[in-house]
A and B are shown apart, each in its own frame.
Chain A
Amino acid sequence: MSRLMTIAKSTLKASAIATVLLAAGCATPPDPSDDVAVQAFNEANDPLEPMNRYFFEVNHGLDELLFKPFAGYYNIALPDPAKDSVRSFVRNLRTPVILFNDLFQGEGGRAGDTAARFAINTTLGIGGLFDVADWWFGMPYHDEDFGQTLAVWGADEGIYLHLPLLGPSNPRDASGKLVDYVLDPLTWVGYVYNVSWINTTRFAVEGIDTRARNLETIAELQKGSVDFYATIRSLYRQHRNDAIKNGEDPEAVLSQLTNDDMIPADGDEMPIIVAQPVPEKADQLSEAN
């Protein structure tokens, strides 16, 4: 009974904190008569921007303090072939999740690749340490997750989220992560045999390896950027869209770009409907044009 009370109390506390954060974290929508600002606001699709920026800063601080130095040591300590083996090993462990999602998306060919890769790399590749399926059999690794499956099924990404520790996301991809976690046999192995450190370690290793591989790219990106948060937000979305299309279908990418290209030829009307412009503002608008 008292245990139930404690759970109830902590749930209440957590939801109270979440509510406060949400309330403080909501972005102020722009003046509805300022059509350009409204368009920029809608396009960013980031109504929780202040909260997201807060977690972005927190993650960035953690990165500077912990992950980046650690990834640096990892880079120095391990020669490239060793790093490749680490990556192959954790990738091989992900096979069931990738296979499920290949199948959910009706990608029979890719599912076959995933299964064959697992069989080859686990045996000839000595427990997944060597990606011989790629080297000798021409079957390169591909990723899939339930966030992508949801997208293929027609789910919208929803608003942008920057989550503590996990980084850029959205409701679709975040719930996808949860489903992947449940789908993963290793999760259940961890629970049943009381060895959940396996999953924690795997998560950490994946993170460090990815971070180590991107040390220079991210540093360059940050140096050149004038709004790193917005850069990451844009890159995350584009990366996910590319992953959903499995890097193919450039036609769709092209048409999406031209649709987004909202620069009308000079003299054209703005392709936006202004919701009841305040007279003064409307005057300013026509002057600006």
Chain B
Amino acid sequence: MLNRRSFGMAAASAVAISVFAPFALVRPAAADAAALEIFIKGLSTRAITDLSAATTDKERAARLLPILQEFFDMPALARHTLGAYWRRATPEEQAEYVEVFTQYMSAVYGKRFSEYSGQTLAVQRVREDGERATIFTIVEGAEGKPRVDWDVAVLDGKQMITDVRVEGLSLAETHRQEFTSVISSKGGKVQALIDILKKKVASL
């Protein structure tokens, strides 16, 4: 019984390997330091060119939104920030939350670009770990040259950012603690957080 099963497994994996091996060669892997460096530089150039032309906070938010969707795994980030409450949310709430969360991120972080004055990202090193990687950068031109680490995962052959840490402070983790605290204080209702975030987005 066991033997047959393991034989089946071996056969299946042999088939899988022979079928998928060619694709593995074509697909861009996360494990490519140069590609990751180009990826993060691309993000920085794109954000600086698109956002420095904006004059109002609303405009900055509107311009940051498509950048977030292109470079960040927003659904995964949104899911992470709800913690265990994600599973409590209905599919409708989940979909609405991902949308509101993306708007919230654009509004909050778009604003910060109003203080932009020529700082640049300098890649220090890249750590690769299969499908995941971390790009370690510092911000040149900012006081104390803060460390910024970017966690990247490969999704459908495309690099996507899953978390950003500034001086060890994680974006995903901080918002998760903030949001779960709000939900807990509202009797565990995810919809309450969605409504609060909507109001916040409107006020920013």
Which residues from chain A sit less than 8 Å from chain B, CB to CB? Answer: 30, 34-37, 39-41, 43-44, 213, 216, 220, 223-227, 229-231, 233-235, 238-239, 241-242, 245, 247, 250-251, 253-254, 257, 260-263, 270, 272, 288-289
Contacts and interface: CB of A to CB of B under 8 A. Distances in A.
A262 B80 CA distance: 8
B147 A247 contact: yes
Given A39-B84, A250-B149, A289-B87, A234 B177 contact: yes
Interface of B: 79-80, 83-88, 107-108, 111-112, 115, 127, 134, 136, 143, 147, 149, 151, 163, 165, 167-170, 172-174, 176-185, 188, 193, 196-197, 200, 204
A239 B168 contact: yes
Given A223-B204, A242-B167, A234 B87 contact: no
A230 B178 CA distance: 5
Contact of B167 (A227, A247, A251, A272): A247
Contacts, number: 116
B177 A257 contact: no
Contact of A40 (B79, B84, B170): B84
A36 B149 CA distance: 30
Contact of B87 (A223, A229, A288): A288
Contacts of B197: 226
Contacts of A263: 79-80, 83-84, 86-87
B23 to A, nearest CB: 22
B80 A44 contact: no
B184 A242 contact: no
Nearest to A261: B80
B111 A220 contact: yes
A250 B127 contact: yes
Nearest to A243: B168
A254 B151 contact: yes
Given A40-B84, A230-B177, A233-B177, A257 B163 contact: yes
B115 A242 contact: no
Contacts of A223: 111, 204
Contacts of A260: 173
A272 B84 CA distance: 10
B115 to A, nearest CB: 7
Nearest to B188: A37
A215 to B, nearest CB: 12
B168 A220 contact: no
B84 A257 contact: no
A241 B183 CA distance: 25
A91 to B, nearest CB: 13
Contacts of B170: 238, 253, 257
A34 B86 CA distance: 14
Contacts of B163: 257
Given A227-B182, A239-B168, A250-B127, A234 B136 contact: no
Contact of A238 (B107, B147, B174): B174
Given A233-B177, A254-B151, A239 B169 contact: yes
Given A247-B147, A253-B165, 5 more contacts: A44-B184, A230-B178, A231-B174, A233-B181, A270-B84
Given A30-B184, A288-B87, A234 B178 contact: yes
Nearest to B168: A242
Nearest to A264: B87
Contacts of A261: 80
Which of B83, B172, B197 lies at the interface centre, i.e. has the most chain A CB atoms within 10 A of its CB?
Answer: B83
A253 B177 contact: no
Nearest to B163: A257
